[in-house]
Amino acid sequence: MTDHRSTETEVALGQPIEVSPSDIFSIGALRNLLKASCANAGGMRAWGRLHGITAAYVSRVIRGEKLPGPKLLDALNLQPSTVYVFKNRVRRGRH
């Protein structure tokens, strides 16, 4: 299984996509998952038709021009979540 938590993830095209229910996806990993899902369906138009989403919208999400909406997230079996992280980690001890 690929770790999606901290890096952009590449999904092999044409391969089954295996993820754990507890995986946390970056927006880059989500875009890669969407790209792979489209490729497995035969392209953005085919994937979009399967899920009632336009190919233009799918393309804009993949390019980072739009954020994924509820319908697209649902099609990928994902849900939005808010994660909070420290702005700056202060190292204690030697530098």
The answer to whether the beta carbons of residues 34 and 9 sit under 8 Å apart is no
Distances (CA, A) of 73 to 31, 68, 70, 94: 11, 6, 5, 44
Q: Which residue has the higher pLDDT, 52 or 81?
A: 52
Hey, what are 43's tokens?
A: 């392209």
What CATH number should be reported for the domain holding residue 3?
Answer: 1.10.260
Q: Give the chain's domain count.
A: 1
Hey, what are 16's tokens?
A: 């089954």
Domain that holds residue 1: 1-95
The pLDDT tens digits of the residues spanning 11-27 come to 555 666 665 656 677 89
Q: Could you tell me the pTM of the whole model?
A: 0.68
